[in-house]
Chains A and B, each alone.
Chain A
Amino acid sequence: MASPPHALSSAQVSAALGRAARWNIPEILFWLVAVGAYFALPTRHLILNEIAILGLFAVSLDLILGYAGIVSLGHAAFFGLGAYTAGLLAKHGFGDPLLGLAAAAAMAAALGLVTSFLVLRGADLTKLMVTLGVALVLGEVANQMSWLTGGADGLQGVNMKPVLGLFEFDIFGSVAYAYSLAVTFVLVVVARRIVSSPFGLSLRSIRDNPLRARAIGIPVNRRLVAVYTLSAAYAGIAGALLAQTTQFVSLEVLAFHRSADVLLVLTIGGVGYLYGGLIGAVVFKVLQDFLSAITPQYWQFWIGVILVVMVLAGRERMTEKARDLVRRVTGRGRPTSGAAPAAGGH
């Protein structure tokens, strides 16, 4: 078959398809800065730890919102379940952190799997209500089962063993930050691998056009169930990190505002490219720190202002612009029409 002049070689096609999976400079810089913060800001390890956890939580939401288009108002359900799972395990003598993470992930994934069948029915509003409802039910259960969870007083007596048997958690949060950052890093690496796989591409296609996705043979519901479950597991691990590093769990892990906050965090950073959650977490926590220093207690007002302004200004356009900028700076991404296809190479 005679190829037209523009035709790409198979190697070029392979390279172009695999491009999303390759690491780029801003990404590497991001993680270097995160590691650098450990040494540069030795007094801020506690807040850095919170950022890492919130970032992971937002990444988990991005998996369903950005890659499958499900708006959830109750993502705290999985976060909270993970937190209580890890906290309770540690309280009853199983204080190994990694064991706690695994258990939290399993419990949250199980809840995600079961509730996904409820969530995937109906329209947007029904989804909102059901996700919200699941979180509320869980909050209510945790509140009522105070013999187990400590109820409104919170879960006391969480005793963590050292990470890997070597690093004891300290009151400055140093080990905590290193631990949370490492876990978040590993999970983000896994997540980016997943979203740039054929499975990940099929999720994007479902978000774009479920009708066509079905018409090329994609079992849409099964894929959504899978990603919902995965996202729940991630959220559970984030919750477990919080329980382990603070050695305390309160009912607040299941609260509505936690679900709303994580939605906000993700929106600030931008939906649909994984790093949005992490960047959003940095911005959110820094803002929170800054605003509550000026107007303690009322910083929520400013969060509200930010939300309203962001939506009115066109949230998606802002993210799109930011992403285009990153692309242009790094030369990554799709060459525009006419550009040599090999431009995005190595």
Chain B
Amino acid sequence: MAAVLETTSLVRRFGGLVATDNVTFSLEKGARHALIGPNGAGKTTFINLLTGVLQPTSGRIVLEGQDITGLKPEDRVRRGLARTFQINQLFGGMTPMETLALAVSERNGGGRDWWRPLGRASGMAEEIGELATRFRLTDVLEEKTVNLAYGKQRLLELAVAFACKPRVLLLDEPAAGVPEAERQELLDTVASLPRDVSVLLIEHDMDLVFSFADRISVLVNGALFTEGTVQEVSTDPKVRAVYLGESVDD
């Protein structure tokens, strides 16, 4: 299978600290790939490098054969690399409907359209309807985002990223903080993401990792510690040693 997202010898230093240490990583097309590691392993830095929030000290990032190392975050999104955030980053004053309309219209280059009222673009309403159904937001489409239940906000977080029609979707702890009652809805939604989107899941929750991913990479001290199938990694004694004290469900 072809790699859709690759990094080559990616390094990021903060002063003397090496937060990302020579990471060469590849995400296969259509993959369900999880990136795990203890706290402080450099997962967040790695995501920030992929999305362009941070620039690497050295190394390259390639998306579908094109070098995106120097691109701004917004340009990477346009090329098909979208993300969700571990802590909700939503537009509190807007409704889910507006939020999705915005994402869809930006994807179609509609953000430069400063004259036609919102919602006139053809196909926009249909697409918002589909997104709302897929992410179970239909009944809250017109509520203010700040007033939504946390689980719904998490779903919206997923929906906004998905509305960018990404080839690669980075999910940063999608289930973090979601109350038990709303959890299953979220997991089902994640599990039913279409297969043409390649997913990199950054997660602490091993239940979710084992049920969702088919490959796992382990990051320790900024470096890639090991990589393999769920079966290989979950039985690897070295990984267990790294996670000693961490919550690994047996």
Q: A17 is contacted by which of B106, B118, B138 (Cβ under 8 Å)?
A: B118
Interface residue stretch chosen among B13-21, B107-115, B193-201: B107-115
Q: Is A194 touching B106 in the complex (CB atoms < 8 A)?
A: no
- Chain A window 173-213, contacts with chain B (Cβ cutoff 8 Å), 1 for yes, 0 for no: 00000000000000000000110111111101100110111
Q: Is B141 touching A8 in the complex (CB atoms < 8 A)?
A: yes
Q: Is B129 touching A13 in the complex (CB atoms < 8 A)?
A: yes
> Is B228 an interface residue, CB under 8 A from the partner?
no
Q: A217 is contacted by which of B106, B124, B133 (Cβ under 8 Å)?
A: B106
Q: How far is the CA of A141 from the CA of B106 in the complex (A)?
A: 42
Whether A212 contacts B113 in the complex (CB less than 8 A), given A17-B101, A217-B107, comes out as no
Whether A201 contacts B74 in the complex (CB less than 8 A), given A10-B129, A14-B125, comes out as no
- Chain A window 16-28, contacts with chain B (Cβ cutoff 8 Å), 1 for yes, 0 for no: 1110110000000
Interface secondary structure of A, over-half rule:
helix
Q: Is A193 touching B119 in the complex (CB atoms < 8 A)?
A: no
Interface residue stretch chosen among A41-49, A94-102, A240-248, A333-341: A333-341
Whether A204 contacts B111 in the complex (CB less than 8 A), given A3-B133, A217-B78, comes out as no
> Is B132 an interface residue, CB under 8 A from the partner?
yes
Closest to B113 in A: A198
Interface residue stretch chosen among B37-45, B59-67, B88-96, B207-215: B88-96
> Is A214 an interface residue, CB under 8 A from the partner?
yes
Q: Is A217 touching B118 in the complex (CB atoms < 8 A)?
A: no
- Chain B window 177-194, contacts with chain A (Cβ cutoff 8 Å), 1 for yes, 0 for no: 000000000000000000
Contacts of B140 in A (CB 8 A): 337
Q: How far is the CA of A44 from the CA of B105 in the complex (A)?
A: 47
Q: Is A7 touching B119 in the complex (CB atoms < 8 A)?
A: no
Q: Is A212 touching B160 in the complex (CB atoms < 8 A)?
A: yes
Contacts of B91 in A (CB 8 A): 204-205, 208-209, 212-213
Q: Is B102 touching A198 in the complex (CB atoms < 8 A)?
A: yes
Q: Is B119 touching A194 in the complex (CB atoms < 8 A)?
A: no
- Chain B window 21-63, contacts with chain A (Cβ cutoff 8 Å), 1 for yes, 0 for no: 0000000000000000000000000000001000000000000
Q: Is B106 touching A8 in the complex (CB atoms < 8 A)?
A: no
Q: How far is the CA of A8 from the CA of B118 in the complex (A)?
A: 17
Contacts of B95 in A (CB 8 A): 334
Q: Is A215 touching B51 in the complex (CB atoms < 8 A)?
A: yes
Q: How far is the CA of A194 from the CA of B17 in the complex (A)?
A: 47
Looking at A1, A196, A218, the one whose CB has the most chain B CB atoms below 10 A away is A218
> Is A327 an interface residue, CB under 8 A from the partner?
no
Q: Is A205 touching B130 in the complex (CB atoms < 8 A)?
A: no
Chain A positions 220-255 with a Cβ under 8 Å from a chain B Cβ: 220, 223
Contacts of A7 in B (CB 8 A): 129, 132-133, 138
Contacts of B164 in A (CB 8 A): 216-217
Closest to A216 in B: B103
Closest 10 CB pairs of A and B: A17-B119, A217-B77, A21-B117, A199-B114, A10-B125, A13-B125, A212-B89, A6-B139, A208-B91, A198-B105
Can you offer 23 A-B residue contacts whose CB atoms are under 8 A?
A: A7-B138, A8-B141, A10-B126, A16-B119, A17-B97, A20-B118, A193-B115, A197-B115, A198-B113, A198-B116, A198-B121, A201-B105, A204-B93, A205-B94, A208-B92, A209-B90, A212-B160, A217-B78, A217-B106, A218-B102, A218-B106, A334-B143, A337-B140
Q: Which residues of A contact B (CB under 8 A)?
A: 1, 3-4, 6-11, 13-18, 20-21, 193-194, 196-202, 204-205, 208-209, 211-220, 223, 334-337, 341
18 more contacts with CB within 8 A, not counting A13-B125, A217-B164, are: A1-B130, A10-B125, A14-B124, A18-B118, A20-B117, A197-B114, A198-B114, A199-B114, A208-B93, A208-B94, A209-B91, A212-B89, A215-B73, A216-B161, A216-B163, A217-B106, A218-B111, A219-B72
